[in-house]
C-alpha cells in the first residue's frame, strides 16, 4: 500500500505539465529528498523442512510444512529508502523493510539502517563518515539499493549471516585515495555499541542461506530462548577495520578486514564477572538438542576475519570471499564458523546467469555446502524477472549430531525498483 | 526579354526573397539577478512544415562518469549515439515518456544509436553511477539553440514570421508554456529572457566510492 502510494506520488506531476517538463523534478517530492526502494514478490516451492525463521529445521528462507513440500507466494521484501540532503555535504539515510515472512513472533516491518552521513575531499583524499545504525562493510554481494543483491536472490552463507545478524550502532570513517594510478586504496574504521549477541545465531543454527534482512530491533525466538543480536550487555564498545585496494575501479577489487564486538564472555546477568557457558554447545533447529548456548542476557565475544575479491572482465563478474567467525567460550576454547564461496555471474544484454558454490564448516559441529543457480531477465533497470534454485546439504559433526540434512528451494521473483 | 531571361530574373528575385525571409536571432537568458544561464534551450514553440532529421546521429558521451553534453537538444527523429569513453562500465537508461530505453552494462560504443521520435524531454541516468544525470530535449522543428556560458544562444535561419519563443532549463520547474515570448523574425534581432531559476545542481560523485 505504502509502495503504491509512493509510486503514485513519484508519477504525479502538476496539472497542465508540459511535455518538455522534467516530471520527476516537478513532482511533489522536494529536491532535497530522494526516495527509492524495491518490491520483491515471490513464488516458491520448497522442501519438507520448514525454515529456521519459523522455528523449523530448514536452513533456507522458505521451507515446507508438516513434513511436506510447500508451494506459496510471498512478499519477500518491500523496501522504502529515503536519502535527505541536510546541507551540502551531509545527508540522512533511512531504510525500512516490510516482509510477509518475518521471523516467528517478530514484526513484519522494521528499520534496516538509519544514519547520518557526510563526505568530502581533502587534498585528493575522499573521506566519508557515518553515524547511527549501520550495516558495516562485510558483504560483497549487496551493491544495489536497499542493500539488495545483484547476482542472485539468495546471498551466500556469509551475506545471509551478515544480513540476519550483523548491524552496529556507532560511527564509521572511510578514507580513500589513489596510491599509484590506476590503483586506489581505501581504509575503514568503525566503533560501536550493541552486538553483544552477534554470532549466537550461528551457534544455535550454524550457517544458512536466505535473503531475510533483520531490522535494528531484531529478535529471533527459538524453542530454547530468544536471541537479540544487537543488544548491549557488557558496556564495552566493539570495533572494526577494513582495507581495500581497487585496480581500474571495477576491474579488480581486493579487501580484508577484522570485526569484533569486544564482548566480555558471559557478563551481563547481574552479578559481576564472566560465567561459565555450557559446553559442548548444542545448536538448535538444524541440529536439535536440549540446550542453547548461554542465556538470553549474556554477552559473547565474537570476532570476524574476512577477505574477499571481485573481478569484472567484460560481461563476467567473479566474486570470492571467505570468513571466519570465532566465538569465545568461558570454558572449552573458541569455536570457529567458516564459510567460503565462489560466485560467477555473466550478463548478456538484458539477461544474467549466475552460479555460486558455498562451502561451510564449524569446528567439530557442522560441515556442508550449497549450490545456487540464478537466471534473470531485466525488462529495464526497474523491472526484473528472476528464477533461482538453491540446494544446501549439511552434515553436522558426528557423533553428537548424526543427522544430515538437505534443503531445496526453487523460487521465481519479480523485482520492481523505484 | 526572352522567356529564359525572364525566368532567370524571376528565380533571382525568389532566391533573394527567400534569403531575406530567413534571419538569425540572438537570445539572452538571465536570472532575476542578471546572472547568465548556461545550458538553457531556446526554441520556436510551433512552426509549420515538415522537418527531416539529420542523417548524422547526435552524440551523448560519457566522460569521467559525466554525460557530455549535460543537455542535448535535437530535432525529433534524430538518432543519438551513447559512446562510453570511460574505462568502466555504464548502464545508461531513460524512463521518460518521450523515450524509454536502456543500454545494459557496456564499454565503448553500443551497437546501434537510439532514435528519439517523440518531442519532449528524456532524462538520462546511469544504473551504476546514481549521480550521473543528463537531458535530451527532443524538439518539433530545427529552430533551436542552447545557451553558452554567457547565457546567449543564436538561432540560425529562422523563416520570417511571428513566433512564440520558448525556453527550457532543468533549473526551471514551471512548464515552458508559462514563459513564451512572441518574436517577429525579420524585425527582432535580439530577445532576452529574465526569469526565476532554481540552483544549478551538477552531478556530484561521492567523495568515497561506494562498494559496488
- Domains, chain A, in order of start with CATH, read 37-417 (2.40.160.10)
Say which of B97, B173, B207 has its CB closest to residue A119: B207
pLDDT at residue A41, as a whole number? 96
Task: Identify whether residues B169 and B188 lie together within a single domain.
Answer: yes
Specify the pLDDT at position A195.
85
On whether both B65 and B135 belong to a single domain, the answer is yes
CATH assignment at residue B93: 2.60.40.420
Are B77 and B132 found together in one domain?
Answer: yes
B39 and B118 both lie in a single domain: no
**pLDDT attached to residue A65:** 82
Q: With residue A4 as reference, give the H or E element that holds it.
A: helix A2-11
A1 CB-near residues (< 8 Å, 6+ apart): none
Question: CA nearest A30 in B: which residue?
Answer: B173
More confident residue, B210 or A359: A359
CB distance A53 to A37 below 8 Å: no
Asked if residue B209 belongs to a domain, the reply is no
Write down the pLDDT at residue B211.
57
| Boundary residue ending a domain (B139, B156, B183) | B139
Residues B151 and B135 in one domain: no
- Which of B120, B173, B210 is opposite residue A26, by nearest beta carbon? B173
Q: Is B16 on the interface with A (CB under 8 A)?
A: no
**B64 and B134, same structural domain?**
yes
Per-residue model confidence (pLDDT) at position A2: 40
B99 vs A contacts (CB less than 8 Å):
none
In what helix (H) or strand (E) does residue B12 lie, and over which residues does it extend? helix B3-21
- Containing structural domain, residue B66: 52-139
Chain A residue whose CA is closest to B175? A18
How distant, in Å, are the alpha carbons of A43, A372, A373, B63, B90 from that of A387? 10, 11, 8, 35, 25
Contact yes or no for B208 and A380 at CB 8 A? no
Q: What is the pLDDT of residue A297?
A: 62
| pLDDT at residue A295 in the model | 54
From first to last of the 418 residues of chain A, give the pLDDT tens digit. Answer: 344 444 444 444 444 567 777 655 556 778 789 999 999 999 999 988 888 888 888 899 999 887 788 899 999 999 999 999 888 789 999 999 999 988 888 899 999 999 999 999 898 899 999 999 999 989 999 999 999 999 999 999 999 999 999 999 999 999 999 998 889 999 999 999 988 888 888 887 889 999 999 999 998 887 767 888 888 888 889 999 999 999 887 789 999 999 999 887 655 443 333 333 333 344 444 443 333 445 556 777 899 999 999 998 888 999 999 999 998 865 567 889 999 999 999 998 899 999 999 999 987 778 899 999 999 999 988 999 999 999 999 887 644 444 678 999 999 999 999 9
Q: Which of B137, B206, B210 sits opposite A20 (nearest CB)?
A: B137
* pLDDT grade for B66, boundaries at 50, 70 and 90: very high
Stretch B183-209: mean pLDDT, rounded? 87
Minimum distance, in Å, between the CA of residue B51 and any CA atom of chain A: 19
Residues B187-196: what's their mean pLDDT? 91
In DSSP notation, A144-194 reads BGGGB-SS-SS--HHHHHHHHH--EEEEEEEEEEEEETTEEEEEEEEEEE-
What is the structure's pLDDT at A318? Answer: 96
Long-range contacts (CB closer than 8 Å, 24 or more residues apart) made by A368-371:
A368/A206, A368/A207, A368/A392, A368/A393, A368/A394, A368/A395, A369/A393, A370/A157, A370/A209
> Of B87, B110, B139, which residue sits at a domain end?
B139
The Cα of B123 is separated from the nearest Cα of chain A by a number of Å equal to 7
For chain A, helix (H) and strand (E) counts, in that order, are: 3, 18
Same domain for B173 and B117: no
Higher pLDDT: B60 or B105? It is B60
- The answer to whether residues B37 and B78 belong to one domain is no
B181 assigned to some structural domain: yes
Same domain, B69 and B88: yes
Q: What's the longest Cα–Cα distance across chain B?
A: 83
Contact A143 B105 (CB under 8 A): no
Q: What angle do CA A7, A10, A12 make, to 5 degrees?
A: 105
**Is B41 inside any structural domain?**
yes
The model's pLDDT over B23-41, given as tens digits with 9 standing for 90+, comes to 899 999 999 999 999 999 9
CA of A184: which chain B residue's CA is closest? Answer: B209
B104 touches chain A (CB under 8 A): yes
Q: Do B177 and B157 sit in the same domain of this protein?
A: yes
| Domain closes at, from B139, B158, B184 | B139
* Cα A310 from chain centroid (whole Å): 18
Asked whether residue B112 is assigned to any structural domain, the reply reads: yes
How many folded domains does chain B comprise?
2
pLDDT of residue A355: 98
- Residue B9 inside a domain? The answer is no
Cβ-based neighbour number of residue A350 at 10 Å: 13
Name the more confident of A274 and B59.
B59
Q: Please check whether residues B76 and B87 belong to one and the same domain.
A: yes
Q: Is residue B204 part of a domain?
A: no
**Is residue B206 assigned to a domain?**
no
In a domain, B110, yes or no: yes
Do residues B56 and B124 both lie within one domain?
A: yes
Q: In whole angstroms, what is the distance from residue A69 CA to residue B94 CA? A: 43
Using an 8 Å CB-CB cutoff, list chain A residues near B166. 20
Amino acid at each position: 500500500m505504502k509502495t503504491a502510494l509512493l509510486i503514485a506520488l513519484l508519477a504525479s506531476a502538476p496539472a497542465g505539465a508540459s511535455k518538455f517538463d522534467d516530471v520527476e523534478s516537478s513532482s511533489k517530492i522536494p529536491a532535497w529528498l530522494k526516495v527509492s526502494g524495491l518490491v520483491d514478490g515471490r513464488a516458491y516451492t520448497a522442501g519438507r523442512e520448514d525454515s529456521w525463521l519459523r522455528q523449523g529445521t530448514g536452513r533456507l528462507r522458505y521451507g515446507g510444512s508438516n513434513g511436506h513440500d510447500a508451494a506459496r507466494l510471498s512478499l519477500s521484501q518491500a523496501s522504502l529508502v529515503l536519502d535527505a540532503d541536510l546541507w551540502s555535504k551531509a545527508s540522512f539515510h533511512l531504510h525500512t523493510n516490510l516482509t510477509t515472512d518475518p521471523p516467528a513472533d517478530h514484526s513484519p516491518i522494521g528499520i534496516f539502517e538509519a544514519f547520518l552521513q557526510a563526505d568530502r575531499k581533502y587534498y585528493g583524499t575522499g573521506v566519508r563518515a557515518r553515524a547511527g545504525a549501520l550495516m558495516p562493510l562485510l558483504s560483497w554481494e549487496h551493491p544495489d539499493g536497499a542493500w539488495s543483491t545483484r547476482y542472485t536472490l539468495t546471498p551466500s552463507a556469509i551475506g545471509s549471516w551478515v544480513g540476519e545478524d550483523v548491524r552496529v550502532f556507532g560511527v564509521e570513517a572511510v578514507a580513500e585515495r589513489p596510491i599509484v594510478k590506476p590503483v586506489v586504496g581505501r581504509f575503514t574504521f568503525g566503533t560501536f555499541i550493541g552486538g553483544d549477541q552477534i554470532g549466537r545465531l550461528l551457534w544455535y543454527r550454524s550457517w544458512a542461506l536466505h535473503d531475510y534482512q533483520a531490522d535494528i530491533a531484531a529478535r529471533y525466538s527459538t524453542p530454547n530462548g530468544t536471541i537479540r543480536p544487537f543488544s548491549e550487555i557488557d558496556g564495552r564498545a566493539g570495533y572494526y577495520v577494513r582495507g581495500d585496494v581497487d585496480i581500474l575501479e571495477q576491474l579488480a577489487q581486493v579487501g580484508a578486514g577484522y570485526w569484533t564486538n569486544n564482548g566480555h564472555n558471559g557478563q551481563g546477568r547481574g552479578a559481576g564477572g564472566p560465567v561459565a557457558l555450557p559446553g559442548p554447545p548444542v545448536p538448535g533447529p538444524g541440529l536439535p538438542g536440549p540446550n542453547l548456548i548461554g542465556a538470553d542476557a549474556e554477552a559473547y565475544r565474537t570476532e570476524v576475519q574476512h577477505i574477499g575479491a571481485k573481478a569484472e572482465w567484460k560481461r563476467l563478474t567473479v566474486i570470492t570471499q571467505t570468513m571466519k567467525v570465532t566465538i569465545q567460550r568461558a570454558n572449552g576454547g573458541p569455536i570457529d564458523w567458516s564459510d567460503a564461496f565462489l560466485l560467477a555471474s555473466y550478463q548478456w544484454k538484458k539477461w544474467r546467469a549466475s552460479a555460486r558454490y558455498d562451502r561451510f564448516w564449524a569446528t567439530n559441529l557442522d560441515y556442508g555446502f550449497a549450490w545456487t543457480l540464478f537466471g534473470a531477465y531485466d525488462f529495464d533497470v526497474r523491472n526484473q524477472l528472476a528464477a533461482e534454485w538453491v540446494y544446501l546439504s549439511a552434515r553436522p559433526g558426528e557423533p553428537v549430531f548424526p543427522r544430515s540434512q538437505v534443503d531445496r528451494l526453487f523460487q521465481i521473483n519479480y523485482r520492481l525498483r523505484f | 526579354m526572352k522567356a529564359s531571361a525572364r525566368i532567370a530574373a524571376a528565380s533571382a528575385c525568389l532566391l533573394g526573397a527567400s534569403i531575406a525571409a530567413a534571419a538569425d536571432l540572438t537570445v539572452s537568458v538571465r536570472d532575476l539577478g542578471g546572472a547568465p544561464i548556461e545550458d538553457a534551450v531556446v526554441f520556436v514553440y510551433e512552426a509549420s512544415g515538415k522537418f527531416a532529421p539529420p542523417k548524422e546521429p547526435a552524440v551523448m558521451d560519457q566522460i569521467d562518469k559525466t554525460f557530455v553534453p549535460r543537455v542535448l537538444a535535437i530535432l525529433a527523429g534524430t538518432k543519438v549515439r551513447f559512446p562510453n569513453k570511460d574505462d568502466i562500465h555504464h548502464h545508461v537508461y531513460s524512463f521518460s515518456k518521450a523515450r524509454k530505453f536502456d543500454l545494459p552494462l557496456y564499454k565503448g560504443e553500443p551497437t546501434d544509436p537510439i532514435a528519439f521520435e517523440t518531442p519532449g524531454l528524456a532524462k538520462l541516468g546511469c544504473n551504476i553511477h546514481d549521480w550521473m544525470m543528463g537531458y535530451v530535449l527532443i524538439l518539433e522543428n530545427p529552430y533551436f539553440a542552447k545557451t553558452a556560458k554567457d547565457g546567449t544562444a543564436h538561432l540560425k535561419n529562422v523563416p520570417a514570421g511571428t513566433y512564440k519563443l520558448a525556453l527550457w532549463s532543468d533549473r526551471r520547474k514551471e512548464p515552458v508554456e508559462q514563459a513564451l515570448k512572441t518574436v517577429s523574425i525579420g524585425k527582432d534581432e535580439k530577445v532576452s529572457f529574465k526569469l526565476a531559476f532554481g540552483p544549478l545542481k551538477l552531478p556530484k560523485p561521492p567523495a568515497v566510492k561506494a562498494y559496488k
